[in-house]
């Protein structure tokens, strides 16, 4: 199977692959953290966007010297790896003001690591007209920084072409998740994570080719009979290692859909139309779509304009898309996941749980560190949760 074989090979060492691509094409590699930086701008500039992750298997040593333990361990891991030279191959690195830890971590990183060149992207916390205008201005500033870094400009025609390519990628990712609506699903949660992680490390054209190959292979690959198990959704913060998914799936359950920072959230799985318009003001189109479609807890979406708080209405406005996930993917239960000290997800958990309770969907909350050693102890809790689901 050509597509899956390629995914497994690149997943083991994405840095080696992206270095090979730079050697062949001469394109600069721009790392990005979080789902908010519009990759269309990086593609239009003829660079290779590379999603930067930490490493759950690498002990955080240097990062712990300069950041306290109350700082999210994912951020500490990235700073740690940067100080150890892991990201020296990058030509630029984009941090996002997706949370205070990420924002301040970016400034700490720039003071401790000289390479690569950094940019911190400011992101509003609402979807108001003023916020969209601000984000549009920020994207124009980012475009200018990128052109200065590269020593050349790129046109709106290049941006339009890039938008079309990324629109196509979002379509293909939605098709990938549709394979998991089958019962049993035609692709595992572990394989989904690997596929998404790989395409986030490649140019969009290469990623689209791989997605098309995987989709072509998946029906045959996943058509063998499997034991029926619980169908789960994972909601929460960064999950970039398959270890947790493997624990779930080794115990007979299926991870059929997710709402996490790495996989579906970046590709607007919830949207019936995951396209950025290619007419009119392209920067405004990008600003509007990224602010509205990235369903991150850092963004405030609520029942505006009412003097009396309507809690049920507020929950529906903020989490209504989860009801669609539960319905379309026939979800039996939800695992709420928040890294320890991840404030934006941790504070959101009680409301998400309340919403799931309103829908009659069982859930369990786990709060591991960004460290592979913290996952095995969760196995017993996950097994107990699955046993509870089997008795419903």
CATH number of the domain encompassing residue 108: 3.40.50.11890
In a domain, residue 194? The reply is no
CATH code of the domain covering residue 298: 3.40.50.11900
| Partners of 363 in the β-ladder | 334
149 and 228 in a single domain? The answer is no
Check whether residue 7 and residue 119 sit in a common domain. yes
Residue 202 gets the label, from left (phi > 0), alpha (psi -120 to 50) or beta, of: beta
Could you list the residue range(s) of the whole structural domain that residue 34 is in? 2-155
Taking only the tens place, the pLDDT of each residue in 197-245 is: 999 999 999 999 999 999 999 877 655 556 678 999 999 999 999 999 9
Same domain, 244 and 127: no
Task: Say yes or no: 372 and 285 in one domain.
Answer: yes
For residues 232 and 147, state if they share a domain.
Answer: no
Answer yes or no: is 161 within a domain: no
**Burial of 362 (C-beta count, 10 Å sphere; 0-12/13-18/19+):** middle
Residue ending a domain, choose from 155, 179, 203: 155
Read off the pLDDT of residues 239-263 as tens digits, 9 standing for 90 and up: 999 999 999 999 999 999 999 989 9
Q: What are phi and psi of 155, to 5 degrees?
A: -90, 170
Asked if residue 288 is part of any domain, the answer here is yes
Structure confidence by residue, pLDDT tens digits, 314-359: 899 899 999 999 999 999 999 999 999 998 999 999 999 999 999 9
Instruction: Verify that 150 and 229 share a domain, yes or no.
Output: no
Position 65 in a domain: yes
| Cis bond upstream, residue 116 (ω within 30) | yes
Sheet with 231-236, side-by-side order of all strands: 254-259, 231-236, 333-337, 363-366
pTM score, two decimals? 0.94
Q: What confidence score (pLDDT) does residue 227 get?
A: 66
Helices (H), 265-310: 282-293
Domain C-terminal end among 128, 155, 182: 155
Query: Within a domain: residue 216?
Result: no
Residue 259 to residue 26: CA distance in whole angstroms: 35
What is residue 168's predicted lDDT score, i.e. its pLDDT? 98
User: Do 236 and 151 reside in the same domain of the chain?
Assistant: no
> Do 243 and 351 share a structural domain?
yes
285: its two tokens: 């189109």
Q: Copy the structure tokens of residue 309.
A: 């708080």
Predicted confidence at residue 173, as pLDDT, reads 97
User: What is the model's pLDDT at position 153?
Assistant: 96
pLDDT of residue 59: 95
- Residue 217 belongs to some domain of the structure: no
Q: Which residues of 169-205 are buried (b: 16+ CB within 10 A; e: fewer)?
A: bbebbbebbbbbeeebbbbbbbbbbbbbbbbbbbbbe
Which residue, 126, 155, 184, sits at the end of a domain? 155
Together in a domain, 119 and 256: no
Q: Could you tell me if residue 176 is inside a domain?
A: no
Assess whether 274 and 144 both reside in one domain.
Answer: no
Check if the beta carbon of residue 179 is closer than 8 Å to that of residue 195: no
Q: How many domains does the chain have?
A: 2
Q: What is the pLDDT of residues 106-127, one digit of tens each?
A: 999 989 998 888 899 999 999 9
- 282 Cβ contact partners less than 8 Å away, ≥ 6 residues apart: 156, 159, 160, 163, 276
Q: Residue 130's pLDDT is what?
A: 94
Q: Residue 286 — pLDDT band, cuts 50, 70, 90?
A: very high
Decide if pLDDT at 306 tops 90: no
- Rounded Cα distance between 211 and 367, Å, is 32
Residue 200 located in a structural domain: no
Q: What is the DSSP string of 245-266?
A: HHHHHHTT-EEEEEE-TTTGGG
Residues 130 and 239 both lie in one domain: no
The residues, ordered by sequence, that sit 6+ positions from 178 with a Cβ below 8 Å of its Cβ are none
Average pLDDT over residues 300-305: 64
Give the SS3 label for residue 30.
strand
147 lies in the same domain as 294:
no
């Amino acid at each position: 199977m050509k597509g899956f074989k390629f995914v497994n090979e690149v997943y083991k060492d994405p840095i080696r692959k992206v270095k090979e691509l730079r050697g062949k094409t001469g394109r600069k590699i721009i790392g990005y953290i979080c789902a908010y930086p519009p990759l269309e701008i990086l593609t239009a500039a003829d660079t290779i966007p590379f999603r930067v992750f930490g490493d759950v298997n690498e002990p955080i040593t240097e990062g712990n010297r300069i950041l306290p333990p109350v700082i999210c361990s994912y951020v500490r891991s990235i700073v740690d790896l940067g100080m150890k030279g892991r990201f020296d191959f990058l030509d630029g690195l984009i941090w996002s003001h997706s949370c205070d830890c990420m924002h301040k971590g970016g400034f700490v990183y720039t003071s401790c690591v000289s390479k690569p060149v950094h940019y911190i992207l400011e992101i509003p916390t609402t979807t108001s007209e003023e916020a969209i205008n601000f984000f549009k201005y920020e994207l124009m500033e980012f475009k200018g920084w990128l052109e200065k870094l590269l020593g050349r400009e790129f046109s709106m025609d290049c941006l339009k072409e890039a938008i079309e390519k990324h629109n196509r990628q979002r379509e293909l990712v939605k098709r990938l998740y549709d394979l998991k609506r089958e019962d049993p699903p035609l692709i595992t949660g572990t394989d989904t994570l690997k596929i998404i992680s790989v395409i986030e490390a490649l140019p969009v054209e290469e990623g689209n080719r791989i997605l098309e190959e995987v989709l072509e292979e998946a029906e045959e690959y996943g058509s063998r009979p499997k034991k029926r198990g619980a169908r789960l959704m994972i909601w929460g913060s960064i999950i970039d290692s398959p270890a947790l998914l493997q624990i779930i799936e080794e115990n007979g359950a299926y991870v059929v859909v997710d709402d996490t920072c790495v996989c579906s959230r970046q590709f607007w799985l919830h949207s019936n139309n995951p396209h950025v318009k290619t007419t009119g003001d392209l920067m405004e189109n990008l600003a509007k779509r990224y602010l509205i479609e990235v369903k991150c807890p850092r963004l405030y979406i609520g029942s505006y304009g009412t003097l009396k708080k309507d809690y049920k209405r507020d929950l529906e406005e903020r989490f209504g898309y989860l009801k669609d996930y539960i319905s379309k993917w026939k979800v039996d239960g939800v695992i709420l996941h928040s890294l320890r000290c991840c404030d934006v997800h941790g504070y959101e958990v009680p409301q998400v749980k309340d919403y799931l309770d309103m829908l009659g969907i069982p859930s369990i909350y786990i709060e591991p560190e960004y460290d592979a050693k913290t996952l095995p102890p969760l196995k017993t809790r996950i097994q107990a949760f699955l046993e509870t689901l089997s008795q419903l």
